[in-house]
Amino acid sequence: MDGDRGASVEAMAALYAAEESAIMSTNGYISTLMGAGIAYIGVTLTFTEKFGDEVSWWLVALLPVPTWLISAYQILLANTVFLRTISVRILEKRLVGTAGFTTAEHDLIGGWRSDLVRDIHSPHKPFAAGTLLAYLGNVLLVVAYTAWIVWFAWVRGLHWWGLAYAAGYLGACWIVTASWWRGQVIASRQKTEAVRVGLLRGDLPF
């Protein structure tokens, strides 16, 4: 019996380590993509004097496309992190309970402490706002970059054809926003269900 219990604990610990490692790796990918997007914007803006002469306005108006692809993938990765965090905290609660820690001791250990700082649902509003800005700041930058590029191409050469590009980018913006929002809804529902059946504490921030 003790052997079965020990094997179960080892399995939970291995799964916990794998899930936590996946979250850290995914956060790394998100940071890399953010850096790539910012670098792309910076590089393309250095060639504005060539717009219209060496690069046609039709192509100039397509410059924001890679940034929207990056943003969409970033949001998918961020949603993955939100959902995996629930899994990790359930496993952590089980492992802490197996180790015999009291509730007071659990309040001082575990990965959930970092969630107070880097989760958008943190009860500490400055931390929540900072996390939201970190996740969505890149998207806001992409929106501003796209608006400037489309306006610049519209005024200089595309004229009313610029409306077609603007409509396409508005669609991309809607997809990215809806994807992020849907991920939040799913994560919230899963957390609520986990709390209802006793797998999670209701006072956790994420």
By three-state DSSP, how is residue 55 classified? strand
Alpha-carbon gap, residue 49 to 72, rounded angstroms: 29
Overall pTM surpassing 0.85 (yes/no)? no
Alpha-carbon gap, residue 69 to 169, rounded angstroms: 11
Which 8-state DSSP code applies to residue 48? G
Spatial CA neighbour of 205 closest among 137, 132, 114: 114
pLDDT at 172: 95
Per-residue pLDDT of the chain (206 residues; tens, 9 = 90+): 455 566 677 888 888 888 888 888 998 998 899 899 999 999 999 988 888 777 788 888 999 999 999 999 999 998 998 888 888 888 887 887 777 776 666 666 666 666 666 666 666 677 677 777 777 777 789 999 999 999 988 888 777 788 899 999 999 999 999 998 999 899 888 888 888 887 776 666 55
- Tell me which residue has tokens 């209701």: 202
pLDDT at 138: 78
pLDDT at 1: 46
